[in-house]
């Protein structure tokens, strides 16, 4: 596997030797000092160019970065929006284990990106066309302090959507249940856990995408309980995880409500939980 220094040397060498490339910007996890480094971190690189067309037309241009295992052209994928005249990219997994997410972008496009992303670092600027970028920070991704309405809406969404989970479990519609849990219910729990961490850190940390770094600030016991909310595909296993999720949400909601000095709607929580328990005991042939 090529080392980090070898990869940076290659990225800069290609840019320096190509007259069309005028600057190099890096963003993503490698600019964030608060992430734990490992061998799977991508190299998120943007080459500043006058136009993207030459790079789109020269399909073999990316061969110089190494032997590819497989890759994706995101701007040619129908699932993603694109503006190929201003930005074009290659997502490359190399055979040596490195991954390079490389884009070429016009100066105007890149300037807007830099303005909106504090996790940027300028690696090369041939024309001094880029602004002085402050030291990269993940401040934009810090947990945001909730408003009273944020708290009430999150609690209501959690307890209300469990209604659909209960019906889906009784019907044994597992794909539907898992979607409801992971896309509607779980995000509310994670948001609440983020707020708990926010209050304990004065809202100066990022917990990462999907809350993947929450374990850093939670007690081991709380983190272990959270992991138990991820079930297998068996009905009873899901029921068990749902009840664990409810207890965890209820516990953390009370803690957050105390920090916010607002009243937690325990009647709503208790009634939602009662409905869950009643449906859990309801025979499959109930009329």
Residue 134 CA to its chain's centroid (Å): 23
Residue 37 banded pLDDT, cuts 50, 70, 90:
confident
Cα 20 to Cα 88: distance, rounded to the nearest angstrom: 14
Q: How confident is the model over 242-251, as pLDDT tens digits? A: 999 999 999 9
Q: Per-residue confidence at 81, pLDDT binned at 50, 70, 90?
A: confident
Judge whether residue 136 has pLDDT over 80: no
Residues 147 and 277 in one domain: yes
Using one digit for the tens of pLDDT, what is the confidence trace for 88-121?
Answer: 999 999 999 999 999 999 999 999 988 888 888 9
Q: Is the same domain home to 27 and 70?
A: yes
Number of independent structural domains in the chain? 2
| First vs last C-alpha separation in the chain | 63
Residues 149, 134: one domain? no
Q: Pick 138 or 91 by higher pLDDT.
A: 91
Q: What is the pLDDT of residue 26?
A: 95
128 and 155 together in one domain: no
Output the pLDDT for position 135.
82
Mean pLDDT of the 76-80 span: 85
Query: For residue 82, what is the domain's CATH number?
Result: 3.30.460.10
* Contact by Cβ (8 Å): 278, 270: no
* CA dist 121 → 23, 28, 129, 145 (Å): 11, 9, 14, 28
CATH code (residue 149): 1.20.120.330
Domain end, chosen from 138, 173, 197, is at 138
Q: Which residues are 124's β-sheet partners?
A: 24
Range of the domain at 56: 4-138
């Amino acid at each position: 596997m090529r080392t980090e220094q070898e990869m940076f040397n290659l990225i800069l060498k290609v840019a320096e030797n190509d007259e069309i490339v005028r600057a190099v910007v890096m963003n993503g996890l490698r600019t964030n000092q608060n992430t734990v480094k490992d061998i799977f971190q991508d190299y998120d690189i943007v080459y500043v160019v006058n136009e993207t067309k030459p790079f789109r037309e020269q399909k073999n241009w990316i061969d110089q970065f190494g032997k590819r295992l497989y890759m994706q052209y995101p701007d040619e994928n129908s699932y993603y929006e694109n503006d190929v005249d201003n930005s074009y990219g290659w997502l490359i997994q190399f055979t040596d284990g490195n991954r390079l997410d490389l884009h070429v972008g016009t100066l105007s496009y890149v300037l807007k990106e830099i303005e909106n992303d504090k996790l940027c670092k300028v690696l090369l600027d041939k024309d001094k066309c880029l602004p002085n970028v402050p030291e990269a920070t993940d401040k934009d991704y810090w947990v945001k302090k909730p408003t009273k309405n944020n708290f009430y809406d999150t609690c209501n969404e959690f307890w209300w959507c469990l209604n659909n989970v209960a019906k889906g479990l009784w019907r044994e519609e597992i794909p539907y249940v898992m979607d409801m849990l992971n896309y509607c219910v779980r995000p509310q729990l994670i948001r609440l856990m983020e707020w708990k961490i926010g209050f304990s850190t004065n809202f100066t940390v990022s917990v990462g995408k999907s809350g993947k770094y929450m374990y850093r600030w939670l007690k081991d016991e709380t983190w272990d309980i959270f992991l138990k909310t991820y079930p297998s595909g068996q009905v009873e296993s899901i029921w068990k995880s749902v009840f664990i999720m409810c207890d965890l949400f209820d516990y953390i909601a009370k803690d957050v409500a105390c920090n916010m000095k607002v009243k937690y709607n325990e009647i709503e929580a208790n009634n939602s939980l009662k409905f869950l328990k009643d449906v859990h005991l309801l025979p499959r042939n109930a009329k």
